[in-house]
Amino acid sequence: MSRKKRVTSYDVAREAGVSQSAVSRVFRPGFSASDKTREKVLEVAKRMGYKPNAIARMLITQQSGIIAVIVSSRANVNYPEVLSQLNKSISQRQKRVLLFTLDSSDDLDELLESIWTFQVDGVIALAAHFEERSLEQLAQHNIPVVLYNRNVPEANANSVCCSHERGIKQLIDILHEGNHRSYLIISGPEDSDVANERREIASQYLTQLGYSDTPIVYGDYSYESGREALARWLKNNNLPDAVICSNDIMAIGVIDELRENMKLSVPDDVSVVGFDGVSAASWYSYQITTIRQPLEQLTKAAVDILMERIENPDSPPETRVLVGKLIAGNSTKPRG
């Protein structure tokens, strides 16, 4: 069975009566061609069924056109939206996303071997814990990396993140000014850098305000873990005035547990705050007081920084910290 010969740029050039380099300029982003040439080449290419050869382009540009996005399998619930926005922004730069999921930090070495194989142009790491050794390996392979929603000054790495410190303190100020006197922190998993940062900020700020030794229980960012963490704590401890959750989905679980199994009212009996600003947090039955992350700005910043490092490898590391928006919902008592 014979295979139809693939149409090449030389075929298009011959049919359109232009040079092969003119065809290349029409299809390569950032290269110019006259309107007349562009119109003629595109018309011929469409009629002949020509598509640019990505492999050939890679050989010419020494770039694969692939961006690796690494996301932890235990990532926060808003990451599907982040992935969608990243894919859109990266596609606008004429590159494609290759998605890797990381079940455990112990699997990172094996994952990096796959990244070397695909010869990706760059890496964006979402909720994936990177040791300094892994960052050094990427640097040795001349692959720039941007850490998403992580600020790691000691790592000397590119990063973009929401200001967890400002957001957590805003939430705690609302609770403190509402005359709450006892607190419970429900943290995300201990192997999550974001959860660790939010937990430490909350604990330290409560100590500054005079509430020392605030108890901490752990979930895994899921709805079920929020319910289970609260139920586990209340078996042997008194009800706190306020519960500070590491994310909105666990906060929703906490509210349902309080209402359904404890027959308590939120916020009359207990105030609850979350973080992230996911869509479910604004549903009528929850209306959680939270911090909405600027996802669109964060993803754009991550892609902008990465593309700059791909084009200019000697650019120094950059960190961008963006401010989230306080959403004053109905899950907290009014300020006193």
d(CA 125, CA 249): 22
Give tens-digit pLDDT for 197-217.
999 999 999 999 999 899 999
- Per-residue pLDDT at 68: 93
**In contact, 242 and 231? CB cutoff 8 Å:** no
- Per-residue pLDDT at 59: 46
Query: Which one, of 282, 233, 285, 287, lies nearest residue 260 by Cα?
Result: 285
**In contact, 65 and 93? CB cutoff 8 Å:** no
With tokens 């920084």, the residue in question is 305
pTM over 0.85: no
- Per-residue pLDDT at 54: 56
DSSP code of residue 333: P
Query: Which one, of 187, 190, 200, lies nearest residue 230 by Cα?
Result: 187
Give tens-digit pLDDT for 283-317.
999 999 999 999 999 999 999 999 999 989 889 99
How far is the first Cα of the chain from the last one, in angstroms, to the nearest whole number? Answer: 81
Query: Which one, of 190, 243, 194, 191, lies nearest residue 214 by Cα?
Result: 243
d(CA 130, CA 114): 16
- Residue spans of the chain under pLDDT 50: 1-2, 59
With tokens 């020509």, the residue in question is 50
With tokens 């899950």, the residue in question is 331
What domains lie within the chain, and their CATH numbers?
9-60 (1.10.260.40), 62-162+295-321 (3.40.50.2300), 164-293 (3.40.50.2300)
- Per-residue pLDDT at 6: 78
- Per-residue pLDDT at 274: 98
